[in-house]
Structure 1
Amino acid sequence: MKIALVTGASRGIGRSAALQLAARDVAVVVTYVRGKDQADSLVAQIEATGGSAAALQLDVSKVKSFDLFAQNFKSILQRKWQRETFDYLVNNAGIGGFSLIADVTETYFDQMVNVHFKGPFFLTQILLPLLADNSKIINTTSATTRVAYAGTSPYAACKGAMDIITRCLAKEFGARGIQVNSISPGAIRTELADSALDKNPEFAQAIANETAFGRVGEADDVGKVIASLLSDDNNWINAQRIEVAGGFYI
């Protein structure tokens, strides 16, 4: 059995990815920050359909907590699946945010960096000894690294950094057969985007109008791609940024 760790999986894209992986007989460890009930519900949903899952609390902005997280994760691997390693790491946890450059505070900037760049970098580093040879890593980035939108600069810059780190990880980990790619969603209707999409239908329509398929994306549009990339059908795709945006601004 393959085992995946999906960060930020109590909702949105992470939740969809966890469900799609479980449907493909992959055991899943999902992380949450404050949404314990949502994460527990997800675990129950997976196990009710014959899958195997567990939930762990993780705040990716708190690098000093990673040692304890790694210990807890290792304990779950041993106790639940009698494994010392796992196979798939999905660095997906993120937060929403919108601020024009003139209004960006240092606190806001640091929050974007800690969650979307520093956290995933050091989490990958500390979990490297637990990653099996020939395993796979997916980093969730963003279409805003290609299409500039006012108000997204710190967020987009951090996601762009993760696209670069993806290639560096693939280069350094290639000797172990570890495959690393990033997926870059466009506008996706998730809890993080509620204020921008559900509460602003004009904005949502403007996004849809600039997308070849004429609609805003849904979490499953991305979750299915994550599960597909982690399958053996895609073993020769490596060090790539794959945009999952339905033809956004082409």
Structure 2
Amino acid sequence: MAADTAPRTALVTGGSRGIGRAVAERLGSTGAVVAVHYGRDDDAAKETVAAVRAAGGRAFAVCADLTTRGAVEELAAGVERGLVEHTGSAGLDVLVNNAGVGCRADITTVTDEDLNRVFAINVKAPVFVVQRFLPLLRDGGRIVSISSVANRIAHPHVLPYAMSKGALEAFSRSLAAQLGPRGITVNTVAPGLIETDFHRARLRAHPEDAAEAVALTAFGRLGQPRDVADAVAFLASEEARWITGERVEATGGAYL
């Protein structure tokens, strides 16, 4: 990790909304300098940066379309500039792979385009982001990727998405073994249904789906982005130094 006198630094991909925003805010609340990656929504990114600063941290936004291979270099250039500006160094302590897309398709409807898009963002992007930032990641650093309960429970209607999260978890386990000698931990957090902007409109339009999701949990409520962010923050902390290669569910006990 960074020296005690230096601020910790973090990159959160897909950090402008939903779980990513909550993670960025939570890491910012610890005093970290947070690079907030986003794909398109400038206003949402600005709001997240302001929220991180309000939480006690420092933040800057970097735009890059992770559907393209060259975007990883754009992301790295922006993150390095921002980190040097805010800390004097391009060193990174925490990398959170949160950017991802869903896809509603089963075996009868899935297309080549579906698989290419989902795997490009949910699998290839994290692989190449880690590869590019590994030289900047300090020994003792943290990598946390956002997976899904769909990798444990059969969800035929989101087949490409579930497949991509399975690949992401396999990647994380192998990476944990390879980076262990540097003291870098690699873990995944697997949320259940979380009440983000992405899901909120659908749940309001179909209250029966919301009721079913609530009934599945042990606590009788929908998950909130901060429920996931707190789990990520723990895995990103010094206290989680002996945890690596693990999958931590943040589902509120769904599907027990």
TM-score by length of 2: 0.94
Structure 2 spans left out of the alignment, 5+ residues: 1-6
> Any residues of structure 2 matched to 1:12-23 within 5 Å, and which?
12-23=18-29
Question: Judging changes above 3 Å, is the alpha-carbon distance between structure 1 residues 178 and 150 closer, same or farther for their aligned structure 2 residues?
Answer: same
Distance 1:119 1:245 in 2: 25
- CA RMSD after TM alignment: 1.3
Deviation at 1:131, TM superposition (A): 0.7
Residue identity opposite 2:62 in structure 1: L
Distance 2:123 2:55 in 1: 35
Residue identity opposite 1:96 in structure 2: G
Deviation at 1:106, TM superposition (A): 1.1
Distance 1:192 1:81 in 2: 34
> Any residues of structure 2 matched to 1:185-196 within 5 Å, and which?
185-196=191-202
- Counterpart residue number, 1:243: 249
> CA-to-partner distance for each residue in 1:60-116, whole Å, 9 max, x for gaps?
221222123212221221122101311000000112321122111211111111111
- Counterpart residue number, 1:175: 181
> CA-to-partner distance for each residue in 1:107-165, whole Å, 9 max, x for gaps?
11111111111111111111111111110000100000001112111100110111111
- Counterpart residue number, 2:62: 56
SS in structure 2 opposite 1:188?
coil
Deviation at 1:49, TM superposition (A): 4.7
> Any residues of structure 2 matched to 1:33-72 within 5 Å, and which?
33-72=39-78
Q: In the alignment, does 2:95 pair up with 1:106?
A: no
- Counterpart residue number, 1:31: 37
Deviation at 1:199, TM superposition (A): 2.3
Question: Judging changes above 3 Å, is the alpha-carbon distance between structure 1 residues 215 and 38 closer, same or farther for their aligned structure 2 residues?
Answer: same
Residue identity opposite 2:241 in structure 1: N
Residue identity opposite 2:208 in structure 1: E
Q: In the alignment, does 2:191 pair up with 1:160?
A: no
Distance 2:190 2:37 in 1: 20
Q: In the alignment, does 2:151 pair up with 1:145?
A: yes
Contact 1:95 1:192 in 2 (8 A): no
Structure 1 spans left out of the alignment, 5+ residues: none
Residue identity opposite 1:129 in structure 2: P
SS in structure 2 opposite 1:101?
coil
Residue identity opposite 1:117 in structure 2: V
Distance 1:17 1:198 in 2: 25
SS in structure 2 opposite 1:100?
coil
Contact 2:187 2:246 in 1 (8 A): yes
Identity %: 38
Aligned mate of 1:118, from 105, 118, 124:
124
Contact 2:39 2:64 in 1 (8 A): yes
TM-score by length of 1: 0.96
Give the 4+ runs in structure 1 shifted more than 6 A: none
Distance 2:255 2:55 in 1: 39
Distance 2:55 2:195 in 1: 26
Counting matched residue pairs gives: 250
Q: In the alignment, does 2:238 pair up with 1:232?
A: yes
Distance 2:138 2:60 in 1: 19
Question: Judging changes above 3 Å, is the alpha-carbon distance between structure 1 residues 102 and 13 closer, same or farther for their aligned structure 2 residues?
Answer: same
Contact 2:123 2:167 in 1 (8 A): yes
- Counterpart residue number, 1:8: 14
Q: In the alignment, does 2:93 pair up with 1:84?
A: no
Contact 1:170 1:239 in 2 (8 A): yes
